[in-house]
Amino acid sequence: MPQRTGHILALIGVAIVLGFGFWYVLTAQTSLTSGGDYDVCAQVITDARNPDTGEVRTFPTPCDVPDGWDTLETDREFFTRNGEEWQRYRNDDLGLRFEYRITPEGYLLVEQDELQVPSDTLIEYVSLFDRKEYAALLESTEAREGPPAISILVFENPDALTAREWIEAERILSNIQLVQGDIRTYTISGVDAIRYTTDGLYTNDTIVAENNGRIYMISGSYAQEDSSIREDFLDMLMHFSLY
């Protein structure tokens, strides 16, 4: 069994991780506004950021958020869209948020083994796998490659490199030696980025962005251009946030 587990980790490096949860209290609080009027304020734990300092704090209700602070979304765990179940992953420390479908034919969020990444600046590494394909991988008794995935890697950027400078400096991580076609400019969540396609075991569509002193690498792998994981990856980019 250890040998089989080690083989799987060498291929895709995985361990389950879930996004952060929120505590909703099914009561209400009455608060007095500065104008003397009373408002009913739901007791929903609320995150907010000071736009001047970047500080993020958690408050017991939305009414406790100081004036001028930016309230961050609090419904980031489970939600429904078009009759489908979705989950929202958010990490305020990294300024990273994205959404993925759970059912039907949904995805499993998996924390990758950071030891498989040749970098001492890696902060976070998570992937999304088709639930059925991932289950089949774990049930397999024979050596096999891992299924295609959507992966998000976050790196420290101590040298303040641009996205293009970073992919040149980190050629093993960026795989630019396998680039097919041009390296294109791109914008994700209002942040300037670059985008390119590599060809290996799977075709990979990769976006690299620099924001707030970090490098974000978002990659979607697929076997065919019309595959569902590629369509889901393209849709996911529409809801991807860097902040």
Collapsing DSSP to helix, strand or coil, 167 comes out as: helix
Segments of the chain assigned to CATH 3.40.1000.10: 2-21+76-242
Contact of 157 with 217, CB cutoff 8 Å? no
Kindly state the helix (H) or strand (E) to which residue 172 belongs, with its residue range: helix 171-174
CATH code: domain 2-21+76-242 is 3.40.1000.10
Closest by Cα among 60, 30, 31, 29 to 47 = 60
Cα 120 to Cα 157: distance, rounded to the nearest angstrom: 11
Tokens matching residue 136: 């089949």
pLDDT tens per residue, the chain (243 residues)? 444 433 333 333 332 222 222 222 223 334 333 344 445 566 566 767 788 876 667 777 788 899 998 876 544 578 899 999 999 888 888 999 999 999 999 999 888 877 789 999 999 999 999 999 998 988 888 888 889 999 999 999 999 999 999 999 999 999 999 999 999 999 999 999 999 999 989 999 999 999 999 999 999 999 999 999 999 999 999 989 999
CA-nearest of 46, 18, 15 to 112 is 15
Q: What is the pLDDT of residues 27-75, one digit of tens each?
A: 333 433 334 444 556 656 676 778 887 666 777 778 889 999 887 654 4
User: What confidence score (pLDDT) does residue 186 get?
Assistant: 98
Q: What does the pLDDT read at residue 5? A: 39
